[in-house]
């Protein structure tokens, strides 16, 4: 059956809530979803006003997030924080599972996954048949690494800014398959697309089968030119896998336009879905060789799996509430407005960058241009021990912010989301002045 794309997110949630009155065994309670509709409606009213100033001590969005009162949280990029209304949807799905597991797992789960995946596919501008839910981007990367066709003498290229866990995944894969893992060194100062392309493709040769590249790098918070990388790779006959957990919500991730072969992501970061909500995208021409690393029934017997993504529906008994809450997270951010979110958080990260540079005479790895960074500011600090500074900022000042070593230099990575304000940045600067 062809499902129509919801035209408005409030109408979509109301539709689902109304369906609950008829198909109560399939969907979560109507009253619960209607409560969420009201939350989204109030959120929409806030976002429809002029963009709120970041130069305040309070944010009009803070009440949507249950953050510990003793914490100044400037590390959304690591694990995200889920809005209260999205957690309510997750908890309702869990309640439905636990009150009648047989009904939920054997009769509800497959269709519920289909519906949630369809909504995510619309958000990413791709077909649902190209997606499978997994727990996180690391899980997704292991899907690709576990079955990617490599032969002796082939090589895979990553960059020196790649996430450490991804590097480990491909180190093991290349060792197991007697292939080579090459590292492309990106320019020391990021400001030019052609320089980035040249640095990546200079590490490639006729035996390069795959390029692994972050959409937004984790430790260094750099937005990379993925579309241009994919276009050149296609001309040279090389496949591209994009690691994208930081890109969802920060950027418009349009999989039809990017042209990558594979895309891995977590929805729990900037999109604010619950922990345990990720996906892997596989372009249609690669469906035939992709396999789940955990083989079970695929679909509930007697129905047999017919497609690659069917194998990911049932990989053993588990709680899939986080997957099914992804549409609620999309609706929450849609009602806020993605432009509102991006403008608000970029203003904060730009302020953080500017202030930290002025106060500590450091440096940044990227030009001061929105093309190269978004909600995270990555700024050099005076040399010293990273671990002890991060621990002191938390234990003494109740500030949660990562202090990162990069090429033997010490940096702070400041993440800003809707609940942050300039007052949070001022607390960080004050604390750093005390400790440095």
Average pLDDT taken over every residue of the chain = 91
Has this prediction a pTM greater than 0.85? yes
Which domains are present in the chain? 128-331 (3.40.640.10), 338-435 (3.90.1150.10)
Token code pair at residue 133: 């839910």
C-alpha pair distances (Å), 274 with each of 73, 79, 242, 271, 345: 17, 10, 22, 9, 20
CA atoms of 143 and 133, how far apart (whole Å): 11
| Positive or negative: CA dihedral 158, 161, 166, 170 | positive
pLDDT digits (tens, 9 = 90+) for 42-91: 554 454 445 556 556 678 899 999 999 999 999 999 999 999 999 999 99
Predicted confidence at residue 377, as pLDDT, reads 98
Average pLDDT over residues 159-172: 98
- Pairing verdict, β 409-415 and 376-381: antiparallel
Predicted confidence at residue 58, as pLDDT, reads 77
Residue 143 has pLDDT above 80, yes or no: yes
- Per 3-state DSSP, the chain is made up of helix, strand and coil in percentages (nearest 5) of 45, 15, 40
Predicted confidence at residue 8, as pLDDT, reads 36
Q: Would you say 334 and 411 are in contact if contact means Cβ atoms under 8 Å apart?
A: no
Q: 214: closest CA among 376, 92, 13?
A: 376
Q: Would you say 263 and 121 are in contact if contact means Cβ atoms under 8 Å apart?
A: no
Predicted confidence at residue 28, as pLDDT, reads 53
Predicted confidence at residue 7, as pLDDT, reads 32
Q: Across 255-373, where does the E strand assignment appear?
A: 262-266, 278-282
Predicted confidence at residue 330, as pLDDT, reads 98
Classify 389 as helix, strand or coil: helix
Residue 17 has pLDDT above 80, yes or no: no
Residue 9: pLDDT band (50, 70, 90) is very low
Residue 150 has pLDDT above 60, yes or no: yes
Predicted confidence at residue 35, as pLDDT, reads 55
Q: What is the torsion angle, in degrees rounded to the nearest 10, for the CA atoms of residue 192, residue 195, residue 200 and residue 201? A: 130
Residue 241 has pLDDT above 70, yes or no: yes
Residue 346 has pLDDT above 80, yes or no: yes
Average pLDDT over residues 30-46: 53
Residue 38: pLDDT band (50, 70, 90) is low
Predicted confidence at residue 14, as pLDDT, reads 52
CA atoms of 2 and 154, how far apart (whole Å): 42
Average pLDDT over residues 210-225: 99
Residue 426's CB: how many other CB atoms inside 10 A?
Answer: 15
User: Which helix (H) or strand (E) covers residue 212, if one does?
Assistant: strand 208-214
Predicted confidence at residue 55, as pLDDT, reads 59
Predicted confidence at residue 42, as pLDDT, reads 54
Residue 221 has pLDDT above 70, yes or no: yes
Contacts of 282 (CB under 8 A, 6+ apart): 130, 131, 132, 144, 261, 262, 290, 308
Range with lowest mean pLDDT among 10-19, 151-160, 261-270, 329-338: 10-19
């Amino acid at each position: 059956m062809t499902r129509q794309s919801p035209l408005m997110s409030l109408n979509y949630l109301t539709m689902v809530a109304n369906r609950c009155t008829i198909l109560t065994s399939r969907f979560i309670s109507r009253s619960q979803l209607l409560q969420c509709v009201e939350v989204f409606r109030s959120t929409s009213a806030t976002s429809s006003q002029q963009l709120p100033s970041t130069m305040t001590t309070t944010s009009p969005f803070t009440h949507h997030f249950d953050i510990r009162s003793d914490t100044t949280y400037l590390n959304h990029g690591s694990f995200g924080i889920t809005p209260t209304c999205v957690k309510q949807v997750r908890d309702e799905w869990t309640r439905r599972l636990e009150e009648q597991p047989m009904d939920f797992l054997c009769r509800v789960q497959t269709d519920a996954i289909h519906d949630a995946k369809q909504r995510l596919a619309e958000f990413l501008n791709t077909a649902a048949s190209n997606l499978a839910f997994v727990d996180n981007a690391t899980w997704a990367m292991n899907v690709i690494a576990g079955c990617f066709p490599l032969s002796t003498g082939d090589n895979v290229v990553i960059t020196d800014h790649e996430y450490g866990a991804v590097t480990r995944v491909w180190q093991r894969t290349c060792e197991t398959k007697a292939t080579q893992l090459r590292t492309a060194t990106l320019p020391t100062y990021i400001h030019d697309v052609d320089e980035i392309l040249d640095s990546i493709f200079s590490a490639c040769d006729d035996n390069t089968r795959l390029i692994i590249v972050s959409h937004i790098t984790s430790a260094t918070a750099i937005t990379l030119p993925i579309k241009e990388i994919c276009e050149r790779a296609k001309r040279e006959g090389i496949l591209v896998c994009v690691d994208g957990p930081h890109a969802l919500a920060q950027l418009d991730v349009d999989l039809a336009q990017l042209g990558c072969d594979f895309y891995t992501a977590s929805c729990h970061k900037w999109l604010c879905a619950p922990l345990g909500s990720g996906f892997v995208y596989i372009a249609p021409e690669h469906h035939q060789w992709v396999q789940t690393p955990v083989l079970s029934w695929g679909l509930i017997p007697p129905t047999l799996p017919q497609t690659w993504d069917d194998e990911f529906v049932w990989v053993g008994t588990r709680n899939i509430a986080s997957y099914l809450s992804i549409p609620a997270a999309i609706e929450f951010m849609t009602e806020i407005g993605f432009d509102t979110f991006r403008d608000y958080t970029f203003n904060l990260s730009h302020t953080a960058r500017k202030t930290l540079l002025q106060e500590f005479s450091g440096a940044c790895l990227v030009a001061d241009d929105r093309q190269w960074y978004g909600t995270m500011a990555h700024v050099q600090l005076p040399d010293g021990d990273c671990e002890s500074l991060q621990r002191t900022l938390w234990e003494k000042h109740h500030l949660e912010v990562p202090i990162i070593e990069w090429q033997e230099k010490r940096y702070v990575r400041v993440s800003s989301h809707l609940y942050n304000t300039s007052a949070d940045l001022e607390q960080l600067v004050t604390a750093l002045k005390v400790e440095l």
